[in-house]
Structures are given as C-alpha cells and as structure tokens.
Amino acid sequence: MAPVVSSKEKILELIRDNPFVSQQVLAERLGITRSAVASHIVQLIRDQRLLGRAYVLPGAEPILVVGGANLDRIAKGFGPVAMGTSNPVSVTESFGGVARNVAENLARLGLPVRLMTAVGDDLAGAELLKQAKNLGIDTSATLTVANCPTGTYTALLQPDGELVLALADMAVIDRFTLAALHECRSRWASTRFRVLDCNLQSELLSALIEDSLRQGAKLVLVGVSEAKMNRLPESLAGVSTLILNAGELAARVGRALPDCEAQVGACRQVQAQGAQGVVVTLGGAGVLCACGVAAPRHFPAPQVEIVDVTGAGDAFSAGVVASLAGLASLSLAPEDLFSACLVGLRLAALTLGSSSSVASALTPGFLQEDPTATR
C-alpha cells in the first residue's frame, strides 16, 4: 500500500515545480482552503524547508543581476513615423532597463533572483521595487537615491514595432558607485552566478569582473549600447559569456564588420581578450555564437509577428542565463552555450509577440519546452 502524502508535502512538491505559484492555486490544486495552505507554508518556513518569498528552497542560490532599471515609455505611431514633425501615437508605460528586464524574465521562469540597481526616491522607483518584490525578486541590494529621478527610457516605434528613436535618462545608475557596491558586499560576494549590464560605471564593471575571476563565479556580461562599450576593461578574463549586438561588437574591436566572416574574426579577437564565449545578436538574422575553440555557429531567428521589439534582446539574454544557470560546472562547453542560444531565441520570439518588454505569459513551464524548436 502506497504511503499517504500529507498536504504539506504536496505543497512543497508543487512549489518545487513552480516557486511563484499562488496560495490560491495551491488550495485549488489540493482541494483545501487557502488559510490551510497559508498555515502549512508558515510551518514549512519555520522548519527551514522554505526560505520565504518567493518560496525559495534551501540551497537555491539567487542569480545576481546588476545594472539598469527604469521606467519605459513607448510611443507607437498610428502611421509611418516622420521626423521633424508631429506624429499621432499611442503611449504605454512599463518598467524596463536591461538588468531589470533580465531579472523579471528569470523570476517568471521560476529562478531565484537578486537585483542590484539604483532608483530614485520617487513614485516610479517605489512602484518599480514593489513590482519586483511581488515577482519574488530580492531587491535588498538596490540603492534608493534622494534628489535624483528614477531612470527613464523613451522609445518611438513604427506601426510594425520597429524602433525609430530611443532616448535614455539613466543618470541615477551612475550614483551606484564602487563605494555603494562595497556597502552591500555580502549581497554580491556570496553569489556564484552573476549577470552585469554595461550601464554600470567602468570601475564597477572592472571590480565585479575581477572578483568573479578570483572567486570562480559564472559571469554573463550584456552590452547596452555602442556608446557604453568603452566602459569594459581591456581584459575580459573572468567573463563566461559576453552578449553583444553587431554594433556593440564593432565598437569593442574598433572597426566595421561588414559580413559574417568579419564578425567571426571579431568574436575570436574578443575571446582572445579573455571571454570564454561570445554571442552576437543580429536582429531578424538570428545570432552568432563562438565558444572555446569550436567552430562558431549561426542560429536563425524564429519567424514571429512583431508587436514590439522593446525588451527582446534582454529576453534573449535571460534565456541564455536561465539555460546556463542549470549547469553544475563552472567551465563553459560550446554545446552548452549553443543550447542556451536556442532557449534565448525562443524567449526573444515570445517577447517580440508581446506588447510589453517582458512577456506576461512567461511561466516556469517555458524551460520544459523543446529547446530545438527554433531550428
């Protein structure tokens, strides 16, 4: 006769499958009251079998994501956008920023995340942090800055979702200094998987790259813009994976890259600077991936009806990170990064079909889907 499994054990099993499952859903799945679920969860936390919001299981170390967080304002033209004149548009607002978008994607995928960023001491900053906490993101290492507004990103899009112009006011992240980083050292030094974006000041990027090399932590570095590529140090030793677009790669090597052969040569040059793997996003043309001494590979982008391009690159980065986070080894094998690119492409496609910078339909079940679906 099979042993009877208690409601408390069933709750723990369901939370393992989805750390962000609501108490109401748990109650409905088990046929008990929500108050009974809450009582069981309190006991599990007391027994240290859960670690609180978002039901983080013991041993589930958070992925540290460091960089920009801001308010996105997206204006989409009703007709073809013309420069130098007034254009009728529809405007939507949502929270964005490369690091914040990556963190939200990871949280929706069911992974434990710690976000380290800077926001203003204003309504936008308070709401941004509230939303992050509601997703289960640990924001305890985030800096709130007085007398400085939360960052904003304003984008103008064509009716088909293609970007016309973007404007970024990210001054608040410059207030996240090396001194501020050391004040919360315990919140980053204890992590073994880190994601940085190039919104950070040069000295912060250098310090975190060097520390990751010293501690043997996995580090994924994500470009933000061509203008910010000069923030990267000369040596990239300590970087497990560097994710750039074609323009950022060209800025890094200091020359035009007119074709695939030139891009492959640039990837090899960046690898020689210390990065184990280099991934180049090519928009609708897919991605180019170089890792170790294996032959670089190109992966085409899946065909998708574009609703909004905002956040698609960040979603790709999050997909790569989510795939690599499941690896036990600190070394990066080419096939691991190739597989991670396929996950990233699928997540980018999902986001392109969404009207927000992070697809609200994203769930932990996404990672269980066939990773070769984009081939």
Q: What is the DSSP string of 57-85?
A: PTT-PPEEEES--EEEEEEEESS---TTS
pLDDT at 1: 44
Please write the tens of the pLDDT for every residue from 292-332: 999 999 999 998 888 878 889 999 999 999 999 877 666 78
Residue 102 has pLDDT above 90, yes or no: yes
pLDDT of residue 53: 46
DSSP 89-156: EEEEEEEE-HHHHHHHHHHHTT--EEEE-EEESSHHHHHHHHHHHHTT-B-TTPEEETTSPPEEEEEE
For residue range 202-251, what is the model confidence (pLDDT) as tens digits? 999 999 999 999 988 999 999 999 999 999 999 999 999 999 999 999 99
Q: Average pLDDT over the chain, rounded to whole? A: 88
Dihedrals phi, psi of 74, to nearest 5 degrees: -115, 120
**202: number of Cβ within 10 Å:** 14
Q: In this structure, are residues 155 and 302 in contact, taking their beta carbons and an 8 Å threshold?
A: no
Integer Cα distance of 356 and 352 in angstroms:
9
Q: Are 103 and 132 in contact (CB under 8 A)?
A: yes
- Residue 212 φ/ψ, nearest 5 degrees: -65, -40
Cα dist. 184→100, 132, 179, 209, 251 in Å?
18, 19, 9, 17, 32
pLDDT at site 58: 52
Rounded average pLDDT over 67-79: 93
Domains 7-46 and 63-368 share a fold: no
- Mean pLDDT calculated for residue range 322-344: 87
Residue 266 to residue 22: CA distance in whole angstroms: 47
Span 188-202, average pLDDT? 92
pLDDT at 7: 82
Instruction: Label residue 27 by pLDDT band (50, 70, 90).
Output: confident
Detail the DSSP E strand segments found in the chain.
63-66, 70-77, 89-96, 113-116, 118-120, 143-145, 151-157, 163-169, 193-197, 218-222, 241-245, 277-281, 287-291, 297-299
Question: Would the pLDDT of 23 be above 80?
Answer: no
Q: How confident is the model at residue 17 (pLDDT cuts 50, 70, 90)?
A: low
This prediction's pTM: 0.80
The pLDDT score that the predictor gives to residue 121 is 95
pLDDT for the residue numbered 330? 65
Tell me the pLDDT band of 365, cut-offs 50, 70 and 90.
Answer: confident
What CATH architecture does domain 7-46 belong to? Orthogonal Bundle (1.10)
Spatial contact of 217 and 208, defined as CB atoms under 8 Å apart: no
What is the pLDDT at residue 375? 39
Of residues 277, 347, 288, 363, the one with CA closest to residue 314: 347
Judged by DSSP in three states, 292 sits in coil
The pLDDT confidence band at residue 55, using thresholds 50, 70 and 90, is low
Query: Vertex 327, ends 372 and 352: CA angle to 5°?
Result: 45
Q: Classify domain 63-368 by CATH number.
A: 3.40.1190.20
Of 94-98, 306-310, 326-330, 358-362, the poorest mean pLDDT is in 326-330
- Residue 37 CA neighbour count, 13 Å, CB half: 20
Q: Is the pLDDT of residue 60 over 80?
A: no
What average pLDDT does range 110-134 have in this prediction? Answer: 95
Q: Write down the domain spans for the chain.
A: 7-46, 63-368
